[in-house]
């Protein structure tokens, strides 16, 4: 890991957490990922997800990446903070204001994982070959896993919606 920390001086390694965790600035996200796969041998992308901290000044969303190095299985977590002003109208479709680079060219598994993060959080992945909703219907409005989206969804937001039953 010393190679990586030398090559990317703004990356922080936290070793006291349950998994070693790299805190990566967004501008290094794609290059660090490539380095991790090609040089450090983290061949398995377990998962890519997001966490929403709506009132956090440094940035609303965390992107969290979990990796393993097979066959031995050491795990690594990478996180980055996405800065972005999100529209105050929570039911509106995201206008692409929160963006991150897509990792699909490094791990094929990222293709579907990023689609899900787009669908449920409204984060746009630049360079993704097919960024569209994966779990919700195509014409759904809003991103349900955001903390300001109500649990009941359309029933609470727009009772006249066809999804309000």
CA distances to 72, 82, 154 from 125, in Å:
31, 12, 26
Of 9 and 137, nearer to another protein (C-beta) is 137
When binding is defined by CB under 8 A, the residue of 23, 49, 90, 97 that contacts another protein is 49
The answer to whether the CB of 78 falls within 8 A of the CB of 21 is yes
The reply on whether position 155 binds another protein by CB under 8 A is: yes
Which range binds another protein by CB under 8 A, 2-10, 28-36, 90-98, 102-110?
102-110
Strand partners, 67: 45, 76
In the chain, the N- to C-terminal Cα span, in Å, equals 52
The reply on whether position 95 binds another protein by CB under 8 A is: no
When binding is defined by CB under 8 A, the residue of 4, 11, 33, 45 that contacts another protein is 45
Sign for the CA dihedral angle at 131, 135, 140, 146 comes to: negative
Q: Mask of contacts with another protein, 107-146, x by CB under 8 A?
A: xxx-xxx--x---x------------xxxxx--x---xx-
The reply on whether position 52 binds another protein by CB under 8 A is: yes
Of 26 and 145, nearer to another protein (C-beta) is 145
User: Angle CA(52)–CA(54)–CA(56) in degrees, nearest 5?
Assistant: 105
The answer to whether the CB of 60 falls within 8 A of the CB of 53 is yes
The reply on whether position 96 binds another protein by CB under 8 A is: no
- Summary count for the chain: helices (H), strands (E): 4, 7
Q: And the tokens for 123?
A: 């984060």
Of 6 and 138, nearer to another protein (C-beta) is 138
Question: Contact positions toward another protein, by CB under 8 A?
Answer: 17-19, 43-47, 49, 51-52, 64, 66, 70-73, 75, 77, 107-109, 111-113, 116, 120, 133-137, 140, 144-145, 149-155, 162-165
């Amino acid at each position: 890991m010393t190679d990586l920390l030398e090559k990317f001086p703004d990356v922080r390694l936290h070793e006291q957490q349950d998994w070693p965790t790299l805190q990566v600035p967004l501008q290094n996200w794609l290059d660090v990922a490539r380095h991790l796969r090609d040089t450090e041998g983290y061949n398995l992308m377990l998962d890519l997800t997001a966490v929403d901290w709506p009132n956090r000044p440094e940035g609303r969303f965390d992107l969290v990446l979990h990796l393993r190095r097979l066959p031995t299985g050491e795990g690594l977590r990478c996180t980055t903070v996405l800065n972005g002003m999100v529209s105050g109208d929570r039911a509106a479709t995201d206008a692409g204001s929160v963006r991150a680079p897509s990792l699909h060219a490094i791990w094929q598994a990222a293709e579907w994982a990023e689609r899900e993060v787009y669908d449920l959080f409204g984060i746009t992945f630049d360079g993704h070959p097919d960024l569209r909703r994966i779990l919700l219907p195509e014409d759904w409005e809003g991103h349900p896993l955001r903390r300001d989206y109500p649990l009941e969804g359309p029933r609470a937001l727009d009772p006249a919606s066809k999804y309000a039953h």
